[in-house]
Chains A and B, each alone.
Chain A
Amino acid sequence: MVALIHRAEYAQYDFGPEHPFTPARLAMLLDLLGELGVDLDPVQAPAATREEILTVHDPAYVEVVEALSRGESRPDAEAFGLGTPDNPIFPGMDLAARWLVGGALHGARLLMSGAEQRVLQLGGGLHHAQRNRAAGFCLYNDLAVAIQALVAHGWRVAYLDIDLHHGDGVQSLFYDHDRVLTISLHESGHYLFPGTGHIQELGGGYARGLSLNLPFEPFTGAEDYLEAFDTVVPQALAMFSPHVLVVQAGADAHFADPMGDLALTTQAFEALHRRILDLAHRHAQGRLLATLGGGYDAQVVSRVWTILALTLLDRPLPEALPPAWIERWRPLLGETPPTRLHDPVPAFPPLPGSELRSHHNRDMVSRLLDALARYWL
């Protein structure tokens, strides 16, 4: 009852050799899963159509992506977030992004038809893409297209985002929508991209109180993160009682990630993944649609997402990484390749200032809950 969604065409979503969002990360992950005995016969979903993209994106924006994708030059590209260091233009990018959207959308359809209870798309998670703008490596918002289809089916949808960065695209696309609850845990926008995701962003109109943000201080570790998660997420889901839980399972909140400053370990990710599965059972009738997301240290993301996949598949986690896999990917694994699935314990020495950080993180959570009380009661 678990569907893995992937196809070779996902590798076409490639901004070039210098870009951090490289498809090599996916290849390493698939190889590791195969090496660990996961039967890799993933569901191959069709690409999303233009019409399906237009359920959340502006026609003018899609038209520019299509033109650039064909190799035409457009002087207004940068106004749409395209042709920037984050979102370079590459031929075929329209279709490359539609493959990923198609995967998430197909996952949603498997849930709606009742064919599956749990779906994991091995790819995607393009949560920064906005209605009329590319941002943060994201062209089309696969999660939002899937959520839109689930909402059109009559379902209430809870969206949970554990990527290092605020899930701004998904949040803003459903900010006023009272059938969608969005919860994002991330490093504070005071410091990190995209700069939003503050606790005051609570949703608009009838959806006030249905947009939740937990912005953590830089260098926040597993303990604070999981404490905040446990304080807010279960009660939010219990209150909202969704038909389905959609998760962006980015791996870049790991301490070794080169993009940001949160300090989760693989053990913390395992705890998170188990909580997510448990919450889907308790509050979303067991229905879970998960995608990957950010995560830019190849050896870290392979391990974190292997933990995610094995957890959703109800399979035990091995202790050691297969030597054959380490050998094959040695050039990408760095000077001292990991030999175990989990991080060493402790993964790093105690951090200075952790008391102050915990204090600040707890205050953030209680301010958020105080603000929510008047909308939830």
Chain B
Amino acid sequence: MLVQEMMRSPVVTIPPEASLKEACNLFSSRGFRHLPVMEGGRLVGVLTDRDLRWATSALCPEPRKLEDPVRSAMSQPPITIDPLDPVEDAARIMREHKIGCLPVMDGPELVGILTGMDILDTLIKLTGVSLPSSRLEVALDDRPGELARLTAFLAERHVNIHSILTYPDADRFVRTVLRVGSSQIRPLAEELRQAGFRILWPRPKPWSR
């Protein structure tokens, strides 16, 4: 999934000469925590609610006053991302810098904003349940064609796959978690076992062994 599919736009911005009080009003009235700071059509920084709270805190060595400009408290230089970058890049950049938002820049132009919340929404979309479906979890061998063998098996039985998630297992298998559009998951798992697949869920019932 690409940043441009996850980002929000249009973006509310603030000029560097605006006061911290104005920024605070924007945060509380609009319910967000990040403001790109724009000067003459150019992105010059990001003011976060954390920047604001620190700059105006009694604990800050040089506390700013509410009338002081945004420029005096903003984070800079801004760390940005391209609208065509994928979700994993966005997540990695935010994680590495321990930051909560990325202004999305198409060349010099600010086209959107991506926050940690948008990444969480994406995670929910990627892993969640959007249609009635059952969980099927298979340990596939890590070699070409294994996933194809599994999906072909399901296709032959006209079982629709709503989502697939794979991740490497500790011991050289590829854990593959599918949500499939069938409630008859136990009989299906039995057929898959007989076809030589290693099924992690559903498991045989403990009392039937």
Contacts and interface: CB of A to CB of B under 8 A. Distances in A.
Given A194-B132, A219-B206, A352-B206, A84 B181 contact: yes
A260 interface: yes
B134 A351 contact: no
A128 interface: yes
Contacts of A189: 129
Interface in A121-139: 128, 135-137
Contacts of A81: 132
**Interface range on chain B (Cβ under 8 Å from partner):** 20 to 34
Contacts of B184: 20, 85-86, 259
A258 interface: yes
A192 B184 CA distance: 10
A193 B185 contact: yes
A141 to B, nearest CB: 13
B64 interface: no
A196 B207 contact: no
Contacts of B135: 190-192, 195
Interface string A158-200: 0000000100100000000000000000000111111110000
A85 B157 contact: yes
B207 A349 contact: yes
Interface residues of A, number: 33
B133 interface: yes
Contact of A192 (B134, B157, B159, B187): B134
Given A85-B157, A85-B159, A263-B207, A193 B132 contact: yes
B133 to A, nearest CB: 5
A259 B182 CA distance: 11
B160 interface: yes
Contacts of B182: 84-86, 193
Given A78-B160, A255-B207, A136 B202 contact: no
Interface in B176-191: 179, 181-187
Contacts, number: 73
Interface of A, secondary structure class, is: loop
Residue of A86, A263, A348 with most partner-chain B CB within 10 A: A86
B205 interface: yes
A261 interface: yes
Contact of B132 (A136, A258, A348, A351): A136
Given A85-B157, A189-B129, A195 B179 contact: yes
Nearest to B132: A194
Contacts of A263: 207
B92 to A, nearest CB: 27
Given A165-B183, A259-B184, A348-B207, A193 B134 contact: yes
Contacts of B133: 193-195
Contacts of B143: none
Interface string B185-209: 1110000000000000111011100
A84 B185 contact: no
Nearest to B187: A258
B98 interface: no
Given A168-B132, A195-B135, A85 B186 contact: no
A86 B129 contact: no
Nearest to B180: A193
B158 interface: yes
A84 B160 contact: yes
Nearest to B209: A349
B202 A194 contact: no
Given A193-B133, A195-B135, A136 B183 contact: yes
Contacts of B186: 258-260
Given A135-B132, A193-B132, A258-B186, A86 B181 contact: yes
26 contacts: A84-B158, A84-B160, A85-B158, A86-B184, A136-B132, A136-B183, A165-B183, A168-B132, A189-B129, A191-B202, A192-B134, A193-B133, A193-B134, A193-B183, A194-B132, A194-B133, A194-B134, A194-B183, A195-B129, A195-B134, A196-B129, A219-B205, A219-B206, A349-B207, A351-B207, A352-B206
The 8 closest A-B pairs by CB, nearest first: A195-B129, A194-B132, A348-B207, A193-B183, A193-B134, A135-B132, A136-B183, A195-B133
Interface of A: 20, 78, 81, 84-86, 128, 135-137, 165, 168, 189-196, 218-219, 255, 258-261, 263, 347-349, 351-352
Given A84-B160, A85-B159, 5 more contacts: A86-B182, A190-B135, A191-B135, A258-B187, A352-B206
